[in-house]
Structure formats: C-alpha cells, structure tokens
Amino acid sequence: MADSNFIDYVKILCRSGKGGAGSRHFHRAKYVPKGGPDGGDGGRGGHIILRGNSHMWTLLPLKYRRHIFAGNGQSGSAGRSFGKDGDDVVVEVPCGTVVFDAETGEYLTEVTDDGQEIKLLRGGRGGLGNWHFKSATNRTPRYAQPGEPAIEKSIILELKLLADVGLVGFPNAGKSTLLSAISAARPKIADYPFTTMEPQLGIVSYRDNRSFVMADIPGIIEGASEGKGLGLRFLRHIERNAVLLFMVPADADDVREQYDILVSELEKFNPQLADKPRVLAISKSDMLDDELMEEMKQHLPTDIPTVFISAVTGMGIDRLKDILWGEITDERNRIEVNPITHRPLDGHHRVREEDEFVFENAPVTDADVEEFEEDFDDDMIYDDADDDAYYPIDDDLVDE
C-alpha cells in the first residue's frame, strides 16, 4: 500500500496549546506611589479542530504529519494587557472520517459533513491576572492563576467511504466490471481474486440527470470479519454505504450459500450492517440459459430484491439501477442507515504496517521534535520559585 494515494488510516499525536499564565504585576510610575495590581490575563491555548472537506477523498495529506500541535497562549502582562491566544490548528479531513483514541481504541467522534467543525482537543484557558484578586482585605494580591495545561492525545483517523451503494461480493464476482460498465471509473479488472486492492468510487448516472455514488470494495471471503483476506481493512467501508449490493456470479456452485456467507461475515463485523437495505445481483448471467435461470430463481432469497445482470451484454442493468435508486431514495432506509455505531478498534490497531512506514519516512526529524519540547517547557507558567525574575516587586510600592 506504500505507493498508493488511497490512504484510509493515519495515526497522529495531537496536542492543544496550553493557556498563558496570568501576570502578577504592580503598576509603577513616577508620582504614583501605590499603583496597585495590574497584571493582565493569559491568552487561551490553541484548539485542535477537525473540519470536513468534501473535496478530499483520502487521508494522504495527513500521512506524513506525525504531530499536530496548536500554539500556546501567551502570558498576560502589565497594564492589564491580555496575553495573545495560541493559534488554533484546523485539520481538514474527508467526510466520513472517524476518530479513535490510539491508546484504547475507543471511538471518539466522526466528521460527516462538508464544513462541519469538531473541536477535538480544547486549548487550555488562560490564567487570570492578579488585578482580579484585588479586594478590600487584600489590596496587593501577589498571586495570579497559571494557565491550564495542554491536552495531548494520540489519535487514529480512519476513513469510511460515504457512498450510496456499496458492492459486496467474493473476489472475482464481477464487481469492478459492473462499476466500469455503469460509471466513468476505470478499476482494474482481471480473472484472478483480489484484483481490487483498495476501494474505488464511481458516479453512476441515472435517468433525468440524477446520479448516485457506487463504491467498489475489495472482495470478501469467509473469515474476513476475523481478518482473513483483505478482511477488516475494507469491511469498515461498507458501514457508511446506504444500500448494499450483494453480488454473486452465476457460475457459483451455490448462489444461496455464497450470499449467506457474505451476510454472516458482515453481521459478525458489525451487527448493525444487517439493518442496511440489500439487493442481490446474480452477475455474469450471460452464461445462463433460461432454464438454468428459472431453476436458480427457486433458491434465491425472497426477502430482498434480486436481479440477474451481465455487465458484458448489459442485461438487467437498467432494472438494477431502478431497484438501487428506489432503495436509496426510500425514506425508511434513510432513517435506518444514519445512526450506525462504529465498533471500537481492537488489539489489531496497535501494530500496523502503515505506522511503521509513516515513522520511517516522516519529514519531521527528531531535532524538530526536541526543539518543540524545549519551547514547551513550563518557563511561561507562573512559578513561585523564580517569580521575582519575571515580575520584580518593589516593596516600596506595596501598600501594606
């Protein structure tokens, strides 16, 4: 996968900015003997924000960003001056990006819409300056609040393709051939299993200038939900498709059995996939004669629409599009489809070849990281020990 542009998994260390410290300053000027406290507030630390971008279709731009750090808030200063807020970092991601905690595998959030912004890590609040603490009983507060610390989290971003129709079938079922026959997409087609190694999207035009998006997903085999074949890597893309088009070739030994295996793999992966509307297409039907077709019809599932198609002769293709369009636009399906629960990542997410690759090739050097760590040292936060070094207080000015 190393030379591919389709990246659907990245692991990144994120850190929001810490809040700036409040200042403990006392006003000093000629002829103003007791100026009183005037230390300003520290600035807010920068947030890490995710923003959906419908023009992106891969996480590739993030692949080499091992670290995303927002700016720290600056300390407040004399004359009630506020410290500057730290810079926020807005990370653009494709719609359909799901965020997991890299340590625990726990699901955190997901970005589904164009322009949608999610505050992933909040910047620390700035501390209040000492003038806030002035009171009748303490007119010379010698303390100010420190800024809130930064939040650090290692996250995994996973892209789950958003498509109206997802193709589900064993390798060699003819999925890519169908996509290339009805859309402008040109996936690789060949007479061997696992020709398709990564998902592809195609726009299928329908009557009256309408269209829908179809995703060609790599073939699924028995045991895929436990990681066999290309397995889990691509099963997750099926979660975000509104309608599932199951495809079983006409020359299969037992069409019904293949269909049942596919359904059971999906259910094992995520039981909610069973609620998605399904359509079954018998592909390569140009190889069947009428008699065989009638015989086969006896054994097909009756609870979902079925259709015989051939991407080569065009047989059944219009009917298939009608059925798919009907399912996509069916209001009942919309309601069922939206609230899918993403299953948390389990153990397998911790060791992935992509992680290795990213670490070897990332342009961020260790020196860059060290430099950052130095900047990050707590020298800006109020600390009793070296306090006078920052805000020397002249005792004459203090009103006891």
What residues line the site for ligand GTP (CB under 6 A)? 169, 171-177, 189-191, 193-196, 218-219, 283-284, 286-287, 310-312
Supply the minimum distance, in Å, between the C-beta of residue 315 and ligand GTP: 8
The option from Mg ion, ligand GTP, none interacting with 173 (CB < 5 to 8 A, set by class) reads: ligand GTP
The option from ligand GTP, Mg ion, none interacting with 286 (CB < 5 to 8 A, set by class) reads: ligand GTP
User: Look-up: residue for tokens 């297409």?
Assistant: 281
- Tell me the chain's radius of gyration from C-alpha atoms: 30
The option from Mg ion, ligand GTP, none interacting with 145 (CB < 5 to 8 A, set by class) reads: none
The option from ligand GTP, Mg ion, none interacting with 169 (CB < 5 to 8 A, set by class) reads: ligand GTP
The option from Mg ion, ligand GTP, none interacting with 283 (CB < 5 to 8 A, set by class) reads: ligand GTP
Supply the minimum distance, in Å, between the C-beta of residue 168 and Mg ion: 12
Spatial neighbors of 108 by CB under 8 A, at least 6 apart, are: 99, 100, 101, 120, 155
Supply the minimum distance, in Å, between the C-beta of residue 289 and ligand GTP: 14
Supply the minimum distance, in Å, between the C-beta of residue 43 and ligand GTP: 54
Binding site for Mg ion (CB under 5 A): 176, 195-196
Supply the minimum distance, in Å, between the C-beta of residue 97 and ligand GTP: 25
Query: Starting at the edge strand that comes first in sequence, how are the strands of the sheet with 306-308 ordered?
Result: 200-206, 210-216, 165-169, 243-249, 278-283, 306-308
Closest to ligand GTP by CB, 25 or 284:
284
Closest to ligand GTP by CB, 216 or 327:
216
